[in-house]
Amino acid sequence: MIAIINYGLGNLTSILNMHKRLGIEAIITNDPQELQNADKLILPGVGHFDKGMQNLNQSGLTGLLNQLVLENKKTILGICLGAQLMTRKSEEGVENGLGWLPADTIRFNINGNGSLKVPHMGWTDLAIVQESPIWQDLPVNPRYYFVHTFHFKFDNASFVTGQSTYGYEFACAFQRENIYGVQFHPEKSHKFGMKLLENFARLQK
Protein backbone atom coordinates (compact mmCIF):
# COMPACT_ATOMS: atom_id res chain seq x y z
CA MET A 1 0.00 0.00 0.00
CA ILE A 2 1.19 3.49 -0.93
CA ALA A 3 0.67 6.31 1.59
CA ILE A 4 0.39 9.76 -0.01
CA ILE A 5 1.45 12.15 2.74
CA ASN A 6 -1.05 14.90 3.48
CA TYR A 7 0.72 17.93 4.97
CA GLY A 8 -1.55 20.51 3.38
CA LEU A 9 0.19 20.96 0.02
CA GLY A 10 0.11 18.99 -3.21
CA ASN A 11 -2.02 17.37 -5.90
CA LEU A 12 -3.15 14.66 -3.54
CA THR A 13 -6.32 13.61 -5.33
CA SER A 14 -4.64 13.56 -8.75
CA ILE A 15 -1.93 11.24 -7.42
CA LEU A 16 -4.50 9.01 -5.73
CA ASN A 17 -6.59 8.80 -8.91
CA MET A 18 -3.53 7.81 -10.95
CA HIS A 19 -2.93 4.90 -8.57
CA LYS A 20 -6.58 3.89 -8.82
CA ARG A 21 -6.24 3.74 -12.61
CA LEU A 22 -3.20 1.51 -12.15
CA GLY A 23 -5.05 -0.75 -9.72
CA ILE A 24 -2.56 0.06 -6.95
CA GLU A 25 -3.83 0.47 -3.40
CA ALA A 26 -3.11 3.96 -2.08
CA ILE A 27 -4.41 6.30 0.61
CA ILE A 28 -4.06 9.99 1.47
CA THR A 29 -3.06 10.28 5.12
CA ASN A 30 -1.09 12.06 7.81
CA ASP A 31 -1.83 9.39 10.42
CA PRO A 32 1.46 8.16 11.94
CA GLN A 33 0.28 4.56 12.22
CA GLU A 34 -0.86 4.44 8.59
CA LEU A 35 2.46 5.94 7.47
CA GLN A 36 4.34 3.33 9.46
CA ASN A 37 2.22 0.50 8.04
CA ALA A 38 2.54 1.63 4.42
CA ASP A 39 4.83 -0.23 2.05
CA LYS A 40 6.00 3.02 0.46
CA LEU A 41 5.49 6.76 0.87
CA ILE A 42 4.92 9.63 -1.54
CA LEU A 43 5.72 13.19 -0.46
CA PRO A 44 3.93 15.47 -2.94
CA GLY A 45 3.96 19.25 -2.95
CA VAL A 46 2.95 22.42 -4.72
CA GLY A 47 3.77 25.84 -3.30
CA HIS A 48 6.38 27.62 -1.20
CA PHE A 49 9.39 25.82 0.33
CA ASP A 50 9.08 27.51 3.75
CA LYS A 51 5.36 26.76 3.96
CA GLY A 52 6.05 23.12 3.17
CA MET A 53 8.69 22.76 5.89
CA GLN A 54 6.58 24.69 8.40
CA ASN A 55 3.65 22.38 7.76
CA LEU A 56 5.83 19.29 8.18
CA ASN A 57 7.41 20.64 11.37
CA GLN A 58 4.17 21.84 12.96
CA SER A 59 2.39 18.56 12.22
CA GLY A 60 5.15 16.50 13.79
CA LEU A 61 5.76 14.69 10.52
CA THR A 62 9.41 15.76 10.16
CA GLY A 63 10.64 13.57 13.00
CA LEU A 64 8.47 10.65 11.93
CA LEU A 65 9.68 10.85 8.32
CA ASN A 66 13.31 11.01 9.44
CA GLN A 67 12.74 7.84 11.42
CA LEU A 68 10.85 5.99 8.70
CA VAL A 69 13.10 7.01 5.80
CA LEU A 70 16.58 7.35 7.34
CA GLU A 71 16.42 4.72 10.09
CA ASN A 72 13.83 2.21 8.87
CA LYS A 73 14.77 2.74 5.19
CA LYS A 74 11.17 2.95 4.01
CA THR A 75 11.05 3.79 0.30
CA ILE A 76 9.80 7.29 -0.52
CA LEU A 77 9.16 9.35 -3.65
CA GLY A 78 9.22 13.14 -3.54
CA ILE A 79 7.27 15.02 -6.23
CA CYS A 80 8.00 18.66 -7.15
CA LEU A 81 8.06 20.65 -3.88
CA GLY A 82 8.08 17.36 -1.98
CA ALA A 83 11.39 16.47 -3.66
CA GLN A 84 12.80 19.96 -3.05
CA LEU A 85 12.04 19.59 0.67
CA MET A 86 14.45 16.64 0.73
CA THR A 87 17.37 19.01 0.01
CA ARG A 88 19.22 21.05 2.64
CA LYS A 89 17.71 24.45 1.86
CA SER A 90 16.12 26.56 -0.86
CA GLU A 91 16.72 30.01 -2.29
CA GLU A 92 12.94 30.38 -2.05
CA GLY A 93 13.02 30.73 1.74
CA VAL A 94 14.91 30.55 5.01
CA GLU A 95 13.74 27.27 6.53
CA ASN A 96 16.07 24.29 6.66
CA GLY A 97 15.01 21.41 4.45
CA LEU A 98 14.95 17.76 5.49
CA GLY A 99 18.60 17.50 4.44
CA TRP A 100 18.41 13.95 3.11
CA LEU A 101 20.54 14.81 0.07
CA PRO A 102 23.84 16.63 -0.61
CA ALA A 103 21.92 19.23 -2.59
CA ASP A 104 20.24 22.62 -2.37
CA THR A 105 17.27 24.04 -4.26
CA ILE A 106 18.07 27.09 -6.40
CA ARG A 107 16.16 29.47 -8.64
CA PHE A 108 16.43 29.24 -12.42
CA ASN A 109 19.09 31.67 -13.62
CA ILE A 110 18.28 32.33 -17.26
CA ASN A 111 18.90 36.08 -17.33
CA GLY A 112 19.77 37.24 -20.81
CA ASN A 113 17.60 34.66 -22.53
CA GLY A 114 14.53 36.75 -23.26
CA SER A 115 12.71 33.88 -24.98
CA LEU A 116 12.48 31.88 -21.74
CA LYS A 117 10.22 32.77 -18.86
CA VAL A 118 10.25 31.64 -15.25
CA PRO A 119 8.52 29.52 -14.07
CA HIS A 120 9.42 26.69 -16.40
CA MET A 121 6.02 25.31 -17.39
CA GLY A 122 4.98 22.62 -19.82
CA TRP A 123 6.06 19.36 -21.42
CA THR A 124 9.82 18.79 -21.56
CA ASP A 125 11.99 15.86 -22.60
CA LEU A 126 13.98 14.10 -19.91
CA ALA A 127 17.36 12.48 -20.46
CA ILE A 128 17.98 9.39 -18.35
CA VAL A 129 21.57 9.81 -17.18
CA GLN A 130 21.78 6.99 -14.67
CA GLU A 131 19.95 3.70 -14.34
CA SER A 132 17.23 3.54 -11.73
CA PRO A 133 14.34 1.10 -11.30
CA ILE A 134 11.83 3.93 -11.77
CA TRP A 135 12.92 4.16 -15.44
CA GLN A 136 12.17 0.51 -16.20
CA ASP A 137 10.47 0.05 -19.59
CA LEU A 138 10.52 3.77 -20.31
CA PRO A 139 12.14 5.20 -23.46
CA VAL A 140 15.52 6.92 -23.24
CA ASN A 141 13.88 10.36 -23.53
CA PRO A 142 10.43 10.30 -21.90
CA ARG A 143 8.43 13.55 -21.65
CA TYR A 144 7.08 14.95 -18.42
CA TYR A 145 5.03 17.94 -17.31
CA PHE A 146 6.86 20.61 -15.31
CA VAL A 147 5.72 23.65 -13.34
CA HIS A 148 8.57 25.12 -11.26
CA THR A 149 10.72 28.17 -10.60
CA PHE A 150 13.38 26.33 -8.58
CA HIS A 151 15.41 23.18 -9.22
CA PHE A 152 17.89 20.85 -7.49
CA LYS A 153 21.62 21.62 -7.43
CA PHE A 154 23.67 18.65 -6.23
CA ASP A 155 27.20 18.82 -4.82
CA ASN A 156 28.03 16.12 -7.38
CA ALA A 157 26.10 14.16 -9.97
CA SER A 158 26.30 10.76 -8.28
CA PHE A 159 22.63 10.76 -7.21
CA VAL A 160 21.19 12.38 -10.35
CA THR A 161 19.23 9.94 -12.53
CA GLY A 162 17.47 12.35 -14.89
CA GLN A 163 18.20 15.73 -16.46
CA SER A 164 16.17 18.20 -18.49
CA THR A 165 17.07 21.42 -20.27
CA TYR A 166 15.52 24.85 -19.80
CA GLY A 167 18.10 27.44 -20.73
CA TYR A 168 20.67 25.01 -19.37
CA GLU A 169 20.75 21.42 -18.16
CA PHE A 170 19.39 20.82 -14.68
CA ALA A 171 18.86 17.77 -12.49
CA CYS A 172 15.20 16.76 -12.43
CA ALA A 173 15.30 13.26 -10.91
CA PHE A 174 17.41 11.58 -8.25
CA GLN A 175 17.84 8.45 -6.19
CA ARG A 176 19.76 7.95 -2.97
CA GLU A 177 19.22 4.39 -1.80
CA ASN A 178 15.52 4.30 -0.73
CA ILE A 179 14.96 8.01 -1.45
CA TYR A 180 13.61 8.97 -4.88
CA GLY A 181 12.64 12.38 -6.17
CA VAL A 182 11.36 14.03 -9.34
CA GLN A 183 10.88 17.72 -10.13
CA PHE A 184 8.11 17.11 -12.66
CA HIS A 185 4.54 15.97 -12.03
CA PRO A 186 4.05 12.29 -12.94
CA GLU A 187 0.37 12.60 -12.01
CA LYS A 188 -0.01 15.09 -14.90
CA SER A 189 2.27 13.28 -17.35
CA HIS A 190 -0.09 10.70 -18.87
CA LYS A 191 1.50 7.39 -19.93
CA PHE A 192 5.05 8.32 -18.90
CA GLY A 193 3.89 9.44 -15.48
CA MET A 194 1.72 6.37 -15.02
CA LYS A 195 4.63 4.09 -15.85
CA LEU A 196 6.94 5.86 -13.42
CA LEU A 197 4.40 5.61 -10.58
CA GLU A 198 3.80 1.96 -11.43
CA ASN A 199 7.54 1.28 -11.36
CA PHE A 200 7.82 2.99 -7.99
CA ALA A 201 4.92 1.00 -6.56
CA ARG A 202 6.44 -2.28 -7.79
CA LEU A 203 9.87 -1.61 -6.30
CA GLN A 204 11.21 -4.45 -4.21
CA LYS A 205 12.58 -3.37 -0.86
Exposure on the CB side of residue 14, measured as CA atoms within 13 A: 15
Band of pLDDT at residue 156, cut at 50, 70 and 90: very high
Report yes or no: 82 and 42 within 8 Å, Cβ to Cβ.
yes
Going along the chain from its start, the domains and CATH numbers come out as 2-201 (3.40.50.880)
pLDDT at 112: 65
Residue 113 has what pLDDT?
66
In this prediction, residue 189 carries a pLDDT of 97
pLDDT of residue 105: 98
**CB-based contacts of 184, cutoff 8 Å, min separation 6:** 80, 124, 126, 144, 145, 146, 164, 172, 173, 193
pLDDT of residue 48: 96
Catalytic residues: 80, 185, 187
Picking from 179, 117, 128, 120, the residue whose alpha carbon sits closest to that of residue 145 is 120
Q: What is the pLDDT of residues 71-130, one digit of tens each?
A: 999 999 999 999 999 999 999 999 999 999 999 999 999 876 667 889 999 999 999 999
Query: Could you give the CA distance from residue 63 to residue 14 in angstroms, rounded to a whole number?
Result: 27
Tens of pLDDT along 9-61? 888 999 999 999 999 999 999 999 999 999 999 999 999 999 999 999 999 99
What is the pLDDT, as a whole number, of residue 77? Answer: 98
CB 97 within 8 A of CB 87: yes
